[in-house]
Amino acid sequence: MEFEEFVKAAFVKMIYEVIEADGKIHPGELKTLNKLKTIIGFDEAFLERAKLLDYDNALITLYNLPHNQKKALAEILDEVAMADGDIHKKEMDLIIETFISIGLGEETE
């Protein structure tokens, strides 16, 4: 799936938020992040810029996405959270908060 640059930045911001949610960056999460670099199409410099993106602005961008892109984000965030073999409560809370904030589940396909 192709994403516009500002959408890609919002995705990457949320991915990194999940990685950092439990206060530890695990090797499995970094491995998944590196895989996503290829799939989504971003590099280390893009990652560093996306980390600086305002969290609320990222949510607004994601809220305005079509359902199929929100669903893609959901799958990615779930994969990132499970990458270390354990979904931490803070990761799950962040993912649920994100889904609610972007309206995932409210729309019909």
Question: Residue 68 in 3-state DSSP?
Answer: helix
Phi, psi of 63 (to 5 degrees): -60, -35
Task: Please report, for the chain, the start and end positions of each structural domain, with discontinuous segments joined by +.
Answer: 5-101
The tens digit of pLDDT for each residue in 66-105 reads 999 999 999 999 999 999 888 899 999 999 999 999 999 7
| Mean pLDDT calculated for residue range 25-50 | 94
Whether the Cβ atoms of residue 26 and residue 83 lie closer than 8 Å to each other: yes
Q: The domain 5-101: what is its CATH number?
A: 1.10.3680.10
Q: What is the pLDDT of residue 64?
A: 95
